[in-house]
Amino acid sequence: MLTNKQKSFLRSESNHLQPLVHIGKSGLTESVIKQIEEALEAKELIKVTILQNCDQDKNEIAAKLEEQAGIEVVQVIGKIIVLYKESVEKKRIELP
């Protein structure tokens, strides 16, 4: 579980990031979750965009992602979810 200080640090780190994964009409499918997990392993901190044609609620999607092993929801803002997961092999971000 991330502390408020760590979440604040990760939010500032995520400002310059472009969304890597887009959740569309089919919602949060297994293939989208796999894509998110692969992106997190490579980058540790990513943005996910929820497209307008997605029927699922953003908070519902964030809650489902947080149920996945080790994925932390840093922030949900507008249609963007910022996710963090410590990488096993390519640790890049040092949390305060």
Give domain status of residue 92, yes or no.
no
In the predicted model, is pLDDT for residue 90 greater than 80? no
Whether 85 and 38 have beta carbons less than 8 Å apart is answered as: no
Give domain status of residue 67, yes or no.
yes
Q: What domain range includes position 30?
A: 4-84
How far, in Å, CA of 25 to CA of 38, rounded? 21
Taking only the tens place, the pLDDT of each residue in 25-43 is 999 999 999 999 999 999 9
Give domain status of residue 94, yes or no.
no
Give domain status of residue 21, yes or no.
yes
- Please tell me the total count of domains within the chain: 1
Q: Residue 78, Cα to own-chain centre: how many angstroms?
A: 14
Give domain status of residue 89, yes or no.
no
Closest CA to 7 of 58, 77, 68: 77
C-alpha torsion 51→75→48→34, nearest 10: -120
In this prediction the pTM is 0.93
Give domain status of residue 96, yes or no.
no
Q: Strands of the chain (E only): list them.
A: 21-23, 45-50, 72-77, 80-84
Rounded mean pLDDT, 6-35? 95
